[in-house]
Amino acid sequence: MKRKAILIVDDEPRLVRLVKVNLLASGYTVSTASDGKTAIEMLESASYDLLILDIMLPGPFNGFEACKRIREFSDIPIIMLTGRAREQDRIRGFDAGADDYITKPFSVEELLLRVKAILRRTHPSEEFPKGTTYNYGDLVINFAQRRVFLRGREVRLTATEYQILYHLGCHAGKVITHEDLLTRVWGTEYRNELHYLRNYISSLRKKIEDDPGDPQYILGKHGIGYQLAIEDQ
């Protein structure tokens, strides 16, 4: 089996060495860059399975800006590293296209867990709901192609955003509890991380809802979970 290739982008040499050594020991191939511009050039010229991207970078692009530019041409899973745990910074990262975030300082065990989890959920599932598509209003999810369309135009989603829609689509019309959805998308170790789910649902609604504050597709059941709307609901 081909080893997964990971690109680390951070300007702290000690942190890069620590992360690289542990990823190599875990069976991954690892490349590094110290600024956003170099990272973008590397992603344009080579194939990687995962990007670990620091927010505070030197040069013309910080982590947020680099993430946005990368999302213009790549769906690579992105874990953002941040030294700030403020909610608005996490939301800004998700809006830029990140799939996950880790707050510094972090343990090696936590990083490896996140890497394993995000690589696991970026692989297509072999389970398909009844029918090959979800259709409601102007929203279409093509499960076979892993593509989402709104009014005929494709919506670019991160791997994690698609996985959330996929699992909601597999059970369209039914409420999936917060814990169940977290477990399905992230794994059992994340079943209590409700803030994760809320941030991603917020990001998804911004992409597919006309009014994210009054959603017609992704419906929430307060204190319980979420569901995708169906006809006559």
Residue 29 belongs to domain with CATH number:
3.40.50.2300
Residue ending a domain, among 62, 94, 121, is 121
| pLDDT tens digit sequence for 202-219 | 989 999 999 999 999 999
113 and 153: one domain? no
pLDDT at 159: 82
Q: Give the structural domain span for 24.
A: 5-121
Residue ending a domain, among 69, 95, 121, is 121
117 and 137: one domain? no
Report the predicted TM-score, pTM, of the whole model to 2 decimal places: 0.71
pLDDT level of residue 10 (50, 70, 90 thresholds):
very high
The verdict on residue 23 lying in a domain is yes
102 and 28: one domain? yes
| pLDDT tens digit sequence for 58-79 | 989 999 999 999 998 998 999 9
Residue partners of 55: CB distance under 8 A and separation at least 6: 62, 63, 64, 80, 81, 82, 83, 84, 89, 93
pLDDT at 233: 60
Residue ending a domain, among 101, 121, 141, is 121
